[in-house]
């Protein structure tokens, strides 16, 4: 049973995290992801978007603060409980991350065989149902090497929804796809969210597609700072300088081209 739509499903409560302990990727982030909606997390490279997904899945732990998954603090879970939580989510990895030695069918069947005791006849039927949902039932017997990039992404999506997850996370689902495949993938994300009632989190740089299919958008800046959040229309109409620069792809603005550095004369040992 899905929870009531509109409540927060994922919450970041004053979360800070850094991979090496000295350069925080996320600093004091507080953010709520609404239940049953498609939320797009946008922002420039390196601002911590994918790190949010890793924190939700418990792949990394917050240095401070809390990551809350449907009322449960992720970092407080032991190994068994964490694995149980992960069964409630599906992940579409950037570029798919399919098992190249397995067929299309076997890729989608993998999580069902790994996490359930279903009879093989049931696994067979469920795999074909998931592949049918993404338009690839006829490709069940193909090798991964026989697929186009767009087809491979759809197989990865079928695998991500194999266990009927309550949360589906998409890491750059449009990267490397042609315009038609982008449109197909976007339509699938929107329709799957509607049909299943799942909560979807979409990390992407593709503003046009995210605006078209999302209910809620979050624009992040360096160290996970939230520039703005709201509806897609509010993002597009925002007068915030950082939001305006990102939406319109302007090279000059609050987000600078140069990474902070001392004067070049200092690095070259030239007297000023």
Dihedral, CA of residue 168, residue 99, residue 42 and residue 65, to nearest 10 = 70
CB 215 within 8 A of CB 12: no
Give the start-to-end residue ranges of the domains of the chain: 8-231
DSSP state of 138: G
Q: In this predicted model, what pLDDT tens digit does every residue of 71-121 receive, in sequence order?
A: 989 988 888 888 888 888 888 887 668 888 889 999 999 989 988 889 999
Architecture in CATH of 8-231: 3-Layer(aba) Sandwich (3.40)
Single pTM value for the model: 0.83
Q: Enumerate residues 6+ apart whose C-beta is below 8 A from 50.
A: 94, 171, 172, 203
Q: In this predicted model, what pLDDT tens digit does every residue of 148-200 receive, in sequence order?
A: 888 888 898 899 888 889 999 998 888 877 888 888 888 888 988 888 889 99
Residue 10 CA to residue 72 CA, distance in Å, equals 9
């Amino acid at each position: 049973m899905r929870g009531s739509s509109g409540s927060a499903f994922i919450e970041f409560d004053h979360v800070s995290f850094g991979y090496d302990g000295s350069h925080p990727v996320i600093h004091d982030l507080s953010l709520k992801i609404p239940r049953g909606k498609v939320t797009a997390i946008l922002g420039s490279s390196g601002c911590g978007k994918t790190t949010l997904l890793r924190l939700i899945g418990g792949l990394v732990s917050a240095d401070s603060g809390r990551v809350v998954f449907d009322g449960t603090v992720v970092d407080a879970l032991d190994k068994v409980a964490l694995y149980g939580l992960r069964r409630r989510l599906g992940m579409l990895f950037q570029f798919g991350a399919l098992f190249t030695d397995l067929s299309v069918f076997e890729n989608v069947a993998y999580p069902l065989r790994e996490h359930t005791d279903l009879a093989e006849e049931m696994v067979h039927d469920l795999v074909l149902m998931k592949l049918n949902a993404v338009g690839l039932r006829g490709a069940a017997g193909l090798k991964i090497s026989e697929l186009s990039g767009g087809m491979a992404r759809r197989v990865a999506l079928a695998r991500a929804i194999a266990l009927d997850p309550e949360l589906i996370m998409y890491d750059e689902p449009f990267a490397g796809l042609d315009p038609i495949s982008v449109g197909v993938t976007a339509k699938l994300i929107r329709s799957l969210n509607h049909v299943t009632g799942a909560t979807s989190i979409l990390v992407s740089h593709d503003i046009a597609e995210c605006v078209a299919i999302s209910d809620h958008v979050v624009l992040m800046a360096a160290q996970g700072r939230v520039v703005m959040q709201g509806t897609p229309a509010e993002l597009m109409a925002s007068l915030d300088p950082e939001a305006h620069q990102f939406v319109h792809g302007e090279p000059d603005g609050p987000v600078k081209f140069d990474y902070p550095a001392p004067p070049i004369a200092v690095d070259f040992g030239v007297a000023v």
